[in-house]
Amino acid sequence: MDGIIPGANVKVLARAINALAKIGDDLFIEAKKEMLTLTTLNLRKTICVRYHLLNSFFSSYEIDENELTQQSRDISCKIHMKTVLPLLKGGSSREKDFLKLEYENNSDVIIFKMKFKCDDILMKHTLRLMDTESLTVEIKPDAGCNNILASSSFFSQLLTMFSNTDDEITLEVSKEKVAARNYIVGAPVRSKSVRSQVNLNASEFSIFQISCETSINFALRPFRTAIQFAESFNLNIGINFDVGGKPLAVILKNPTFEVNFIIATLNPYSDLQSSMATTSIPTKVSNPKNDDPNITVEDQEALLNVNWSEDFDMSEPTSDKADERSKRSGFQEVVKNKNTEAKVAGKRCKDFSLPVDNLPMEVDHEDMDVLPPSPESPRAKKAKLVFGRCFEPTFSETYLGQVLAPNSDSE
Amino acid sequence: MKFRALITEVPAMRDFMNIALSLSKFSKECVMRITARRVYFIISEEESGPRRPLVWCELPVNFYFKEYNFVGVTEQHNEIYIEFSTVLFARSLGILKQDVKSFKIKLTNKDSPCLTVEIELTAREIASREVVHDIPIEVISRKHWSDYEEPRFNDFHVSIQMPNLKALKNIVEHMRNMSHSLTVCADKNGRLTLKIKTNVVTLSAHFPDLSVESFAVGQIPVLTDCEEELQQSVHSTVDIKKFVMFLSGLQINNCRTVCSIVHEKMVKLHVEQPGALTIQVFLTELTV
Please tell me the total count of domains within chain B. Answer: 2
Please give, one letter per residue, the 3-state secondary structure of chain A.
Answer: CEEEEEHHHHHHHHHHHHHHHHHCCEEEEEECCCEEEEEEECCCCCEEEEEEEEHHHCCEEECCHHHHCCCCCCEEEEEEHHHHHHHHCCCCCCCEEEEEEECCCCCCEEEEEEEECHHHCEEEEEEECCCCCEEEECCCCCCCCEEEEEEHHHHHHHHHCCCCCCCEEEEEECCCEEEEECCCCCCCCCCCCCEEEEEEEHHHCCEEECCCCEEEEEEHHHHHHHHHHHHHCCCEEEEEECCECECEEEEEECCCEEEEEEECEECCCCCCCCCCCCCCCCEEEECCCCCCCCCCHHHHHHHHHCCHHHHCCCCCCCCHHHHHHHHCCCCCCCCCCHHHHHHHHCCCHHHCCCCCCCCCCCCCCCCCCCCCCCCCCHHHHHHHHHCHHHHCCCCCHHHHCCCCCCCCCCC
User: Domain check: are B258 and B137 in the same one?
Assistant: no
Torsion sign (Cα): B152, B158, B162, B167? negative
Residues of A in contact with B133 (CB under 8 A): 194-197
> How far is B47 from chain A, CA to nearest CA, in Å?
23
Decide if B51 is inside a domain: yes
pLDDT of residue A297: 57
User: Domain check: are B277 and B256 in the same one?
Assistant: yes
Q: Which of A47, A44, A40 is nearest to A16 (CA)?
A: A40
Q: Which of B148, B176, B201 is a domain's end point?
A: B148
Higher pLDDT among residues B221 and A246, named by residue: A246
User: Domain check: are B182 and B93 in the same one?
Assistant: no
What is the pLDDT tens value at each position of chain A, 411 positions in all?
889 999 889 989 999 999 999 999 999 998 888 889 999 999 998 999 999 999 999 999 988 877 665 555 667 888 999 988 888 876 655 788 889 999 887 788 899 999 888 888 898 999 998 887 778 888 888 888 999 999 999 999 899 889 888 889 999 999 999 999 998 887 877 778 899 999 998 888 999 999 999 999 999 999 999 999 999 999 999 999 988 888 999 999 999 999 999 999 988 887 644 444 446 677 776 665 544 445 555 665 666 666 655 444 444 444 444 444 444 433 333 333 333 444 444 443 334 434 444 444 433 444 455 565 666 666 767 777 777 777 666 655 555 566 777 777 765
> How far is B159 from chain A, CA to nearest CA, in Å?
41
**Calpha distance B256→A264 (Å, rounded):** 56
User: Domain check: are B136 and B6 in the same one?
Assistant: yes
Residues of B in contact with A193 (CB under 8 A): 88, 136
Decide if B27 is inside a domain: yes
Contact between chains at B112 and A189 (C-beta distance less than 8 A): yes
B53, B44 Cβ separation under 8 angstroms: yes
Cβ of residue A187 closer than 8 Å to a chain B Cβ: no
A113, A100 Cβ separation under 8 angstroms: yes
Find, in chain A, the residue whose alpha carbon is nearest to that of B110.
Answer: A189
| B237 — pLDDT class (breaks 50, 70, 90) | very high
| B166 — pLDDT class (breaks 50, 70, 90) | confident
Residues of A in contact with B131 (CB under 8 A): 161, 196-199
pLDDT of residue A4: 92
**Calpha distance A244→A281 (Å, rounded):** 14
Provide the residue range defining the domain that includes B31: 2-148
Cβ of residue A411 closer than 8 Å to a chain B Cβ: no
CB count, 10 Å around CB of B99? Answer: 12
Contact between chains at B136 and A199 (C-beta distance less than 8 A): no
**Calpha distance A69→A235 (Å, rounded):** 35
Contact between chains at B123 and A163 (C-beta distance less than 8 A): no
Mean pLDDT, chain B, rounded, equals: 86
Decide if B244 is inside a domain: yes
Residues facing residue A200 across a β-bridge: A178
Predicted model pTM: 0.72
User: What residues does each domain of chain A span?
Assistant: 1-137, 140-306, 319-362
Contact between chains at B127 and A198 (C-beta distance less than 8 A): no
- ipTM for the complex? 0.81
> Which CATH number belongs to the domain containing residue B102 in this structure?
3.70.10.10
Cβ of residue A66 closer than 8 Å to a chain B Cβ: no
Q: Which of B121, B148, B175 is a domain's end point?
A: B148
Per-residue pLDDT of B140-160, as tens digits, reads 988 888 888 888 877 888 899
User: Domain check: are B138 and B170 in the same one?
Assistant: no
Task: Say which CATH topology domain A140-306 has.
Answer: Proliferating Cell Nuclear Antigen (3.70.10)
pLDDT of residue A296: 55
User: Domain check: are B108 and B214 in the same one?
Assistant: no
User: Domain check: are B70 and B30 in the same one?
Assistant: yes
**Residue type at position B67:** E
User: Domain check: are B75 and B194 in the same one?
Assistant: no
Beta-carbon pairs below 8 A across chains A and B:
54
CB count, 10 Å around CB of B206? Answer: 10
Contact between chains at B112 and A191 (C-beta distance less than 8 A): yes
B68, B2 Cβ separation under 8 angstroms: no
**Residue type at position A99:** L
Q: Which of B148, B171, B190 is a domain's end point?
A: B148
pLDDT of residue A329: 34
- Sheet harboring B192-197: ordered strands across? B202-207, B192-197, B181-187, B233-239
User: Domain check: are B142 and B7 in the same one?
Assistant: yes
Contact between chains at A188 and B111 (C-beta distance less than 8 A): yes
User: Domain check: are B139 and B174 in the same one?
Assistant: no
Decide if B153 is inside a domain: no
Decide if B176 is inside a domain: yes
Interface probe with B: pick from A195, A200, A208, most Cβ of B within 10 Å: A195
Per-residue pLDDT of B57-94, as tens digits, reads 999 999 999 999 999 888 888 999 999 999 999 999 98
Task: Say which CATH topology domain A1-137 has.
Answer: Proliferating Cell Nuclear Antigen (3.70.10)
